[in-house]
Amino acid sequence: MFPIPLPSLTTILPQAANTHNHLSDTYPPPPQREGEDSLDSVDPRYRPFAPLVSPNAPFPRLRPTRFLPARCLEAWFVEGELICDADELGPEETLDATWLWVNGSDSRWKNELLYWRQEEGIHSPEHHFREQNELVYSMRSVLAALGGHIKTIHLIVYDYAFNVTQDLSLLPESTVELLSRWRVAQTPTWLDFSRLDPSSPSHPFRYATHSEIFHLPTIERDAMTMEAGEKEWREAEWRKNALPTYNSMSIESRIGWLPGLADVSLALNDDFFVLRPQAVSDFHSPLYGNVFRFDLGYNQQIKANLDPARINDAGEMGGLHHANHLLSQRFPRRKRPYFAHSPKVITRGLHHEASLIFKEALTVSSSRRFREMKVGHGDTQMQWLMSHLRVERWREALLWTYIVAKLGDSDDHLGHNAREEFRDLFGLERGVDDDVVQIEVHRGPRWTLERARMKSNFEKANWEAPKETEFLWSSLDGHMPNLLPPSTDAKQRDM
């Protein structure tokens, strides 16, 4: 990924030997909770816990992601040839998986919902929160379909303030010290927390509550720009408006703050089930990147305009329109395709990058306790935003590589030689008015997605090839093509 904004070549070359100011080579290990977090819950519905503290500033920290060894990059990008062997490429990736869950049938939760409904003066449909006991089967299906390839399961749950009068009975008898910061997590009744080893950084299950992941991006304190305590005050005020939350889009915007989250993970709802065996490469690989399952229906594309009628949309269309509006402020304004109702691939680094690029808008939208609130410009569909941010950043990288890195000179200018190279590339005659010229672009042959070629690449890497995915297009072939109206000849598509 390129830093924001894109630098000129001359500004990044002197820093090549010392990039620690921009990218972190290490990621902090997941912190451990205070107290006895390895004991099973006294009441399986509720779990007292000591919340984790907010991450140290600055957070998030952008850092490099795994890719091919340096000697293999040119052959891979220029010729599509994989010249590295399995030893150089390293072991196959594993994935984390995240679930959002709430028991909307629980009376304690219902009472809080009713209170905040009245406070905010809105009505939120209860069927959005109804507990159907689907989570356990959703998790089992993923573990069965991706057996041995899921490193950690992350469960994000609702939490309550600790009420001394009613919650002391939830504490195990061995608890000797009640911490003042304790809260109570709402948990599935079938979870056996006695099997949890909180001291293990590689334990396959972790849980986190809303209060633990709702934080704002931070910078290292600077006496010239931020007074002592100002950062903490700002976040405290924001959390007062944001928590407790009954808005899944707000929660999804904070997934990047999950302690111990892997760089690549699957994001699922509890009504998602994976019913066939899958390979990691059905979702992600260092060779072909993240797999996006866009809806290719022309009329399913999301518009970039803000519709005032959708600011308090109880569904997801308001969040989608707002997300495309944000993208269109930073990148070309266009309709962008919807995605299928299936597990989404998210990258922690890109989640963090989006949190910084759209910091102000996400701060407001994530404070919307309910989707039906008329705050800001509406919700933001974070997973859709990240998917299309990756598409646009790739296009930006392609343009930057050619315009700046290849054609740009040492003075950060496009001089006479660059102009002549432009003319040669497009076959333009000297003396022709550049404002009226038409350029005919022909599609070249592409073999990136040939089955035999892809199979050979995965075999060479000793990684499992996709089992249930048919690839229609790869970013190695350029920028994602636009969707055409149904009546348009497919040959006109610039692929």
pLDDT tens column, 229-288: 677 788 999 999 999 999 999 999 999 999 989 999 999 999 999 999 999 999 999 999
- In this prediction, residue 15 has a pLDDT band, given cuts at 50, 70 and 90, of very low
Most confident of 79-88, 218-227, 322-331, 404-413: 322-331
Question: In this predicted structure, what is the pLDDT of residue 12?
Answer: 35
Question: In this predicted structure, what is the pLDDT of residue 5?
Answer: 34
Backbone φ, ψ for residue 196 (5° rounding): -85, 135
Residues 107-121, mean pLDDT to the nearest whole number: 96
Backbone φ, ψ for residue 425 (5° rounding): -60, -45
More confident residue, 298 or 457: 457
More confident residue, 61 or 280: 280
* 35 has a pLDDT exceeding 80: no
Sign of CA dihedral 443, 444, 449, 451: positive
Q: What's the mean pLDDT when you consider all of the chain?
A: 86
Question: In this predicted structure, what is the pLDDT of residue 28?
Answer: 63
Question: In this predicted structure, what is the pLDDT of residue 191?
Answer: 93
- In this prediction, residue 202 has a pLDDT band, given cuts at 50, 70 and 90, of low
- In this prediction, residue 482 has a pLDDT band, given cuts at 50, 70 and 90, of confident
More confident residue, 46 or 490: 46
- In this prediction, residue 492 has a pLDDT band, given cuts at 50, 70 and 90, of low
Torsion angle (degrees, nearest 10) of CA 71, 72, 76, 82: 150
Question: In this predicted structure, what is the pLDDT of residue 495?
Answer: 44
* 7 has a pLDDT exceeding 90: no
34, amino acid identity: E
Residues 352-381, mean pLDDT to the nearest whole number: 96
User: Beta strand 205-209 with 150-157: parallel, antiparallel or unpaired?
Assistant: parallel
Question: In this predicted structure, what is the pLDDT of residue 2?
Answer: 31
Report which of 42, 141, 114 is spatially closest to residue 370, judged by C-alpha positions: 114
Domain ranges of the chain: 9-18+35-404
Whether pTM exceeds 0.75: yes
Residues 113-117, mean pLDDT to the nearest whole number: 96
Element (H, E) at 185: strand 183-186
**Half-sphere exposure (Cβ direction) of 202: Cα atoms closer than 13 Å:** 3
Torsion angle (degrees, nearest 10) of CA 239, 241, 244, 250: -80
Among residues of the chain, what percentage have pLDDT more than 70?
88
Which pair of structure tokens corresponds to residue 24?
């972190």
Residues 179-203, mean pLDDT to the nearest whole number: 83
Question: In this predicted structure, what is the pLDDT of residue 131?
Answer: 87
Residues 301-310, mean pLDDT to the nearest whole number: 92
More confident residue, 375 or 65: 375
Question: In this predicted structure, what is the pLDDT of residue 249?
Answer: 97
Q: What is the pLDDT of residues 145-172, one digit of tens each?
A: 998 999 999 999 999 999 999 999 998 8
- In this prediction, residue 21 has a pLDDT band, given cuts at 50, 70 and 90, of very low
Residues 423-434, mean pLDDT to the nearest whole number: 74
Contact (CB, 8 A) for 153 and 204: yes
Question: In this predicted structure, what is the pLDDT of residue 201?
Answer: 60
- In this prediction, residue 489 has a pLDDT band, given cuts at 50, 70 and 90, of confident
More confident residue, 127 or 386: 386
SS3 342: coil
Question: In this predicted structure, what is the pLDDT of residue 102?
Answer: 96
Question: In this predicted structure, what is the pLDDT of residue 228?
Answer: 58
* 415 has a pLDDT exceeding 80: yes
**Half-sphere exposure (Cβ direction) of 282: Cα atoms closer than 13 Å:** 16
Question: In this predicted structure, what is the pLDDT of residue 376?
Answer: 94
User: Beta strand 183-186 with 46-49: parallel, antiparallel or unpaired?
Assistant: antiparallel
Question: In this predicted structure, what is the pLDDT of residue 494?
Answer: 52
Question: In this predicted structure, what is the pLDDT of residue 290?
Answer: 95
Q: How far is CA 93 from CA 56, 264, 438, 486, in A?
A: 28, 9, 46, 39
* 306 has a pLDDT exceeding 70: yes
What are the E-state strand segments in 15-149?
46-49, 95-100
> Which residues are CB-neighbours of 331 under 8 A, at least 6 positions away?
392, 395, 396
* 50 has a pLDDT exceeding 80: yes
141, amino acid identity: S
